[in-house]
C-alpha cells in the first residue's frame, strides 16, 4: 500500500489527476472506475482542465461505483447527474461508454446482474475511491458480512447523515443504494483512494493499519497489490502520528 500525503486536497487531487491522465494516455481503451461525493470533485476539475489543454476522453470507458435507489438519472442529487455536472458534460467521453447503476430500475436484482456483466466486460484499469467516515468504499457499509458483487444496500445511519448535506432541508434522503461489490473493486488493476479532512483520519488509519475486518470495509484494500492512498495532512493525522511514534521508538 502506497501512502502519499499532501498539504491540501488541491495538490493531492492534481497528483491523482496526473496518474489518471497517464492511464488515459497510455492505454488504447482505458476503463476508469469513478466515484462521487465531495472528495473527487477537485480531481474531476483537474481532468476537465487537462481536457481543455488537449486530453481526449473519446476512447475512455467509465464505470461508476454506485447510485441511490429511487432517484431518477435527472434528479439533481443522483450520481448520474453528479457525473454529468462535474465531468461528462465538460469532456468528450462517449455517453454510451459511461456506466452507472440505474437506481430507478423496477427490477433491482436484474439491474445488479446487468451491472456485474458491464464490469466483467470492461475490466477496470484504475479505480478512484473515496472513503466514508465509517470506512465504507463505494456503498459497501460496515456489516457482519461483505458482498463480492453488485448489490442493493441499506445505507448506514452515519452515511445517510453525511449525505443529507447535499439535499434540501425537508427533502427525503435516500436510504438505499446499488453499489459495486468488493470483488469488483479489488479486481481493478490499480486503485487510488482519496481522503481529505480530519473527519476521515480514523477511517484511513483503520484501513491502513487495522486488521482486515468487515466492520472496516476499506481494510480489504490491504489485500490489493497496487493501492495508493492520496491524503491531505488532516486525513493523514493518525497515520503521521503513528509514523512519528515509530520513528522516535526506533531512534531510541
Ligand atoms: P465524500 O464521501 O467524498 O462526500 O466525503 C466519500 C464516501 O462516502 O465514499
pLDDT of 6-18, one tens digit each?
999 999 999 999 9
Q: Quick one: cell of 243?
A: 509514523
As a whole number of angstroms, the distance between CA 226 and CA 230 comes to 13
Pairing mode of beta strands 227-232, 190-195: parallel
Over the stretch 139-151, which tens digit does the pLDDT of each residue have? 999 999 999 999 9
CA of 109 to the centre of ligand 1 (A): 25
Q: Which of 51, 102, 116, 134 is catalytic?
A: 134
As a whole number of angstroms, the distance between CA 67 and CA 104 comes to 9
Specify whether 66 is catalytic.
yes
Specify whether 243 is catalytic.
no
Neighbouring residues of 172: CB distance < 8 A, sequence distance ≥ 6 = none
Q: Which of 67, 116, 125, 141 is catalytic?
A: 141
Q: How far apart are the first and last CA of the chain?
A: 27
Q: Quick one: cell of 72?
A: 431518477
Over the stretch 30-71, which tens digit does the pLDDT of each residue have? 999 999 999 999 999 999 999 999 999 999 999 999 999 999
CA of 130 to the centre of ligand 1 (A): 5
Over the stretch 187-245, which tens digit does the pLDDT of each residue have? 999 999 999 999 999 999 999 999 999 999 999 999 999 999 999 999 999 999 998 88
Q: What is the per-residue pLDDT for 231?
A: 98
Pairing mode of beta strands 66-68, 126-129: unpaired
Q: What is the per-residue pLDDT for 243?
A: 87
Q: Which of 136, 151, 163, 232 is catalytic?
A: 136
* Mean pLDDT, rounded, of the chain: 96
Q: Which of 98, 66, 76 is nearest to 176 (CA)?
A: 66
Specify whether 64 is catalytic.
no
CA of 35 to the centre of ligand 1 (A): 9
Q: Which of 162, 173, 185 to mutate to test the pocket of ligand 1 (most atoms within 8 A of CB)?
A: 162
List b or e across 13-25, with b for residues whose CB sees 16 or more CB atoms inside 10 angstroms.
bebbbebbeebbe
Cβ atoms of residues 229 and 204 within 8 Å? yes
User: pLDDT: is 66 or 250 the higher one?
Assistant: 66
Per the DSSP assignment, residues forming a β-bridge with 232 are 6
Share of the chain above pLDDT 70, in %: 99
Q: What is the per-residue pLDDT for 246?
A: 87
Q: Which of 129, 122, 130, 128 is nearest to 60 (CA)?
A: 122
- Residue 250 pLDDT > 80: no
Mean pLDDT, residues 117-138: 97
Cβ atoms of residues 204 and 132 within 8 Å? no
Q: Is the pTM of this model over 0.85?
A: yes
Cβ atoms of residues 40 and 128 within 8 Å? yes
Which residues have any ligand 1 atom within 6 Å of their CB?
Answer: 37-39, 130-132
- Residue 252 pLDDT > 70: no
CA of 131 to the centre of ligand 1 (A): 6
Sheet holding 190-195, edge to edge: 2-6, 227-232, 190-195, 126-129, 31-34, 61-64, 98-99
Q: What is the per-residue pLDDT for 248?
A: 85
Out of 18-22, 117-121, 157-161, pick the least confident. 157-161
Q: Quick one: cell of 97?
A: 461508454
Pairing mode of beta strands 98-99, 190-195: unpaired
CA of 252 to the centre of ligand 1 (A): 39
Nearest residue (CA) to ligand 1, atom 8: 132
Q: Quick one: cell of 66?
A: 454506485
Specify whether 171 is catalytic.
no
As a whole number of angstroms, the distance between CA 81 and CA 216 comes to 29
Mean pLDDT, residues 129-135: 97
Q: Which of 81, 76, 69, 140 is nearest to 106 (CA)?
A: 69
Amino acid at each position: 500500500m502506497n501512502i502519499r500525503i499532501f498539504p491540501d486536497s488541491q495538490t493531492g487531487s492534481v497528483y491523482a489527476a496526473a496518474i489518471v491522465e497517464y492511464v488515459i494516455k497510455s492505454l488504447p481503451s482505458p476503463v476508469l472506475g469513478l466515484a462521487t461525493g465531495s472528495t473527487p470533485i477537485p480531481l474531476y476539475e483537474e481532468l476537465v482542465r487537462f481536457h481543455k489543454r488537449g486530453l481526449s476522453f473519446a476512447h475512455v470507458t467509465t464505470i461508476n461505483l454506485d447510485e441511490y435507489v429511487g432517484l431518477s438519472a435527472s434528479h439533481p442529487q443522483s450520481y448520474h447527474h453528479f457525473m454529468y455536472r462535474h465531468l461528462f458534460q465538460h469532456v468528450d467521453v462517449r455517453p454510451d461508454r459511461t456506466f452507472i447503476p440505474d437506481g430507478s430500475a423496477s427490477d433491482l436484482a436484474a439491474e445488479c446482474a446487468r451491472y456485474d456483466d458491464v464490469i466483467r466486460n470492461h475490466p477496470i484499469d484504475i479505480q478512484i475511491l473515496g472513503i466514508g467516515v465509517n470506512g465504507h468504499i463505494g456503498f459497501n457499509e460496515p456489516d457482519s458480512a461483505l458482498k463480492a458483487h453488485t448489490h442493493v444496500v441499506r445505507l448506514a445511519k452515519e452515511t445517510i447523515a453525511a449525505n443529507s448535506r447535499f439535499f434540501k432541508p425537508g427533502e427525503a434522503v435516500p436510504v438505499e443504494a446499488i453499489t459495486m461489490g468488493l470483488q469488483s473493486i479489488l479486481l481493478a488493476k490499480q486503485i487510488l483512494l482519496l481522503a481529505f479532512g480530519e473527519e476521515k483520519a480514523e477511517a484511513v488509519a483503520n484501513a491502513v493499519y487495522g486488521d482486515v475486518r468487515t466492520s472496516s470495509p476499506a481494510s480489504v484494500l490491504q489485500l490489493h497489490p497496487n493501492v495508493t492512498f492520496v491524503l491531505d495532512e488532516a486525513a493523514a493525522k493518525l497515520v503521521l502520528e503513528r509514523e512519528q511514534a515509530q520513528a522516535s521508538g526506533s531512534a531510541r
